[in-house]
Chain A
Amino acid sequence: MSTTLTRPRPTAAQPARRGRGSLLDALPTIASVAILLLMFVYGEAAYGKIFQYNTISNLFINSSYLIILAVGMTFVILTGGIDLSVGSVIAVSSLTGVFMANAGLPVVIVIPVTILVGSLFGLMSGVLVQYFNVQPFIATLAMMFLARGIASIMATTPVRLDDDSSFRSLSEPIKLIDGPKTNDLVVTPSVIIMILVVVAAVLVLKRTRFGRTVYAIGGAENSAGLMGLPVARTKLWVYLISGTLAGLAAVVYTSRTGIAQNVTGVGWELDAIAAVVIGGTMLTGGYGFVLGSVVGALVIGMMTLLITRDGTVPPEATTIITGGILLVFVLLQRVVLLRKKKKA
């Protein structure tokens, strides 16, 4: 029998190109690790006292809420979505937490409820995106305004957490290594929570069907559906996770500062997105790693640290520098994407 299709085609017998593609996938993340290391080295050389216990401890303590936010954002962005609501959700969550704690409710109730407030907003975003077919940008923008409005109704002035509130215990420092003077390696329960969140997120994304479905949706949502993967359920969960982690970030932040305000978290969603993108996750979805987002958040934290140390850089310049770094990484992603297309 002769078939009717005889036009020349590349043959099936292509040699497999092991690993090359995945190296290219990881390139933006590798670049962000390199930048972070560079910042450390530069900081040590220019200002000193960077490679020491207390600086590193503070970097993690100060970045823990942003890392938690960025982890949630990574899930959303991996599916090709976005969550603009997390900053405002933190305001509502943290006000809820402080009011409840000051009313004398036990911390075992206060903390779960604070987190669940975040989950609720995440769930609403997810339902809007999945079942009402609203663009993620618009759905979470609506949630952002809604949450910010609710926060302003709850309080327009800063609300202080009572000094004796057990809520604060989450930020009690635990000395791991007792260095000379104040140079100790310190963690807080918040940092431990952050680490647990990161580990759990890495495992979920790498080793569960849910996690792989997140990547599949980001790669080709339509295909994922036709492959029989639970697309609707997964997308709902992704926003739920992002909202829940925003609630958790509110707990971590509030326990450290002891203050809740209606303007808490303004622009943090953008910091989280920046951390994710700097960490090498493609905004179009499908490629990226949680650990990259952690590095991205640390890059942002480190930058603040260096600017503070320098003292001559005006604080306004922080956003300019963040913007500059972000731009470099987005361009790097474009280059990677173009290289990939060329290969295909």
Chain B
Amino acid sequence: MAGKEPVVEMTGITVEFPGVRALDSVGLRLWPGEVHTIMGENGAGKSTLIKALTGVYKVDAGEITVAGESTRFTGPGDAQRSGISTVYQEVNLCENLSIGENVMLGNETRGAFGIRWAKTHDRARLVLQELGLGHLDPRAPLSSLSLAVQQLVAIARSIVSNTRVLILDEPTSSLDANEVEVLFGVMRTLRDKGVAILFVSHFLDQVYAISDRLTVLRNGQFVGEYLTHEINRSELIAQMIGKDLSSLKGMEHARELDQNAPREEFARLDGVGAKGIIEPTTLTLNKGEVLGFAGLLGSGRTELARLITGADRADTGTISIGGKPVRLRTPDAAIAQRIAFTSENRRDEGIIGDLSVRENLVLAVQAKRGWLRRVSRKEADALVETYIKRLNVRPADPDRPIKNLSGGNQQKVVLGRWLATEPELLVLDEPTRGIDVGAKSEISEVILELAGKGLSVVFISSELEEVVRLSDRIAVLRDHRLIAELVNGPDVDVESIVKTIAEEEAA
């Protein structure tokens, strides 16, 4: 591979969205005959980088060269004409058209009287055969296929035109193991023909199985480019989450508890899962215990939390509380079971920006009580005073619109809102994200204090050291699956969790 010129080279790519810099001076090089994977957590900028290349998003700064020529594509069609095809995570095909037409759309065989359908469908059949899909009838409607097969049809579509660069944006998320093998076979064939393949996947096993080269992004920034055989899994994860492994050692546990003390069960999940979101999970939540969820972004930890709290519906398994099965179809039902949930998306699912601190604080109490029994001003004031003081909300002004508070103080108000409902289970998804160190430690203290009083707490954070420090037990998730449960102790630290995540699944 040495000596060749990259077919695509992106340098200093910056993409800004209103208020956010989605990519900050990111580079990427693609060589012909190579599978190149972009790695990074959700939100690291992988998809943005692809869309910047294909012209879906406007590039604010930087240089894109294709085969040595400086280029800016105006859109996917333009990129395709230069031989750059993309297959997206969601199947972007038209269900109202036939399989063959979806493969050939825009590349139909034409004659004097327009499109020649017989020839077009023959060509589609040949292309599908190349991908091992020869059994499909090109004239059958696309809607007769499962999503997974549709995804393979989308790939067939991308190789119809003379493709030099094939971009696969998380194409495997809807495929099963056999289908992934078929896909990898196709990728290897194309690679050997000299096509440059840009691959995005969350699945470490897949990345190591197929890629020759890796580019790691984090928070919209370029972290590094590595040859796959030169970097091991733990190092890679450390690069993705931005922590030096050696610095992660020696974190102390905040709680010195007798781990062997018997715990009273609050709730139990039995095979709770939702198709395509989180695999069936069995887990116990104990009173007086902080249960941490550890895993990369996108590993399924938020999804699991949402099933526990009625924010999303599980389609398998049962949740029982105090031994009795309950149905948590809505957050409302969960609130009635004294389950409280603060979402990771504080801005959209947490605060209501234009309402005051007071109004935000009493929302959940009011909701729990029902709209006919209004929380009186006196009660509201009492609640607000209690929680502002207890959580140290600053400024301590209940009439200020909450959007004018800092993130940490907003989070405290949201936490107070739920504490006011006197929950027995508190599920906190990323309560410390994007807030300053002081507020972080205050929130941590409150969590520990609550657990000390017998509350069951689920704590989710991307910062593994925080999870290790606060949790009594740690549920490790990967690829939408619970892969391990660790009882926190002296031998559990960030490194051992990273190792657990990185471990190749025992076959």
Whether A207 sits at the interface, judged by CB under 8 Å, is yes
The 8 closest A-B pairs by CB, nearest first: A207-B114, A228-B77, A21-B141, A219-B94, A16-B137, A219-B96, A286-B96, A9-B176
Contacting residues, chain A, for B182 (C-beta < 8 A): 12
Among A212-265, those with CB < 8 Å from B are 212-213, 215-216, 218-220, 222-230
How long is the Cα–Cα vector from A218 to B481 in the complex, in angstroms? Answer: 37
Contact A14-B157, Cβ < 8 Å, known A2-B177, A222-B92: no
Whether A289 sits at the interface, judged by CB under 8 Å, is no
Residue from the list B115, B140, B507 in contact with A21, Cβ < 8 A = B140
How long is the Cα–Cα vector from A6 to B206 in the complex, in angstroms? Answer: 13
Range class of the B interface residue count: 35 or more
Q: Which of A11, A222, A223, A224 has the most CB of B within 10 A?
A: A223
Whether B152 sits at the interface, judged by CB under 8 Å, is yes
In the complex, which residue of chain B has the Cβ closest to the Cβ of A217? B94
Whether A13 sits at the interface, judged by CB under 8 Å, is yes
Contacting residues, chain B, for A10 (C-beta < 8 A): 146, 148
Contact A230-B77, Cβ < 8 Å, known A5-B172, A9-B146, A14-B145: yes
Contact with A along B369-411 (1 / 0, CB 8 A): 0000000000000000000000000000000000000000000
Contact A228-B79, Cβ < 8 Å, known A16-B140, A220-B93: yes
Residue from the list B75, B113, B117, B152 in contact with A225, Cβ < 8 A = B75
- If over half of B's interface residues share one DSSP class (helix, strand or loop), that class is named, otherwise mixed; here it is mixed
Whether B186 sits at the interface, judged by CB under 8 Å, is no
Contact A21-B148, Cβ < 8 Å, known A208-B115, A218-B96: no
Contacting residues, chain A, for B133 (C-beta < 8 A): 12
Whether B348 sits at the interface, judged by CB under 8 Å, is no
Contacting residues, chain A, for B117 (C-beta < 8 A): 207
Contacting residues, chain B, for A2 (C-beta < 8 A): 177, 205, 504-505, 507
Among B172-221, those with CB < 8 Å from A are 172, 175-182, 203-206, 209
Contacting residues, chain B, for A317 (C-beta < 8 A): none
How long is the Cα–Cα vector from A15 to B140 in the complex, in angstroms? Answer: 10
Contact with B along A84-107 (1 / 0, CB 8 A): 000000000000000000000000
In the complex, which residue of chain A has the Cβ closest to the Cβ of B101? A212
- A1: shortest Cβ distance to chain B, in Å? 5
Contact: A12 with B94, CB < 8 Å? no
Contact: B135 with A16, CB < 8 Å? yes
How long is the Cα–Cα vector from A219 to B177 in the complex, in angstroms? Answer: 30
Contact A3-B205, Cβ < 8 Å, known A13-B135, A228-B77, A343-B143: yes
Contacting residues, chain A, for B81 (C-beta < 8 A): 228
Q: Which of B75, B86, B106 has the most CB of A within 10 A?
A: B106
Q: Which of B136, B140, B175 has the most CB of A within 10 A?
A: B140
Contacting residues, chain B, for A203 (C-beta < 8 A): 113-114
Contact: A343 with B144, CB < 8 Å? yes
Contact: B105 with A216, CB < 8 Å? yes
Contact: A4 with B479, CB < 8 Å? yes
How long is the Cα–Cα vector from A215 to B81 in the complex, in angstroms? Answer: 22
Whether B469 sits at the interface, judged by CB under 8 Å, is no
Whether B268 sits at the interface, judged by CB under 8 Å, is no
Contact: A16 with B144, CB < 8 Å? yes
- A222: shortest Cβ distance to chain B, in Å? 7
Contacting residues, chain B, for A6 (C-beta < 8 A): 176-177
Cross-chain pairs A/B with CB under 8 angstroms, 19 sampled = A1-B209, A4-B205, A4-B206, A4-B479, A5-B172, A12-B146, A12-B179, A14-B145, A17-B144, A18-B139, A207-B117, A209-B108, A216-B94, A216-B97, A224-B94, A225-B75, A227-B76, A228-B79, A286-B96
How long is the Cα–Cα vector from A234 to B93 in the complex, in angstroms? Answer: 17
Whether A65 sits at the interface, judged by CB under 8 Å, is no
- B65: shortest Cβ distance to chain A, in Å? 21
Contact: A21 with B92, CB < 8 Å? no
Contact: A209 with B106, CB < 8 Å? yes
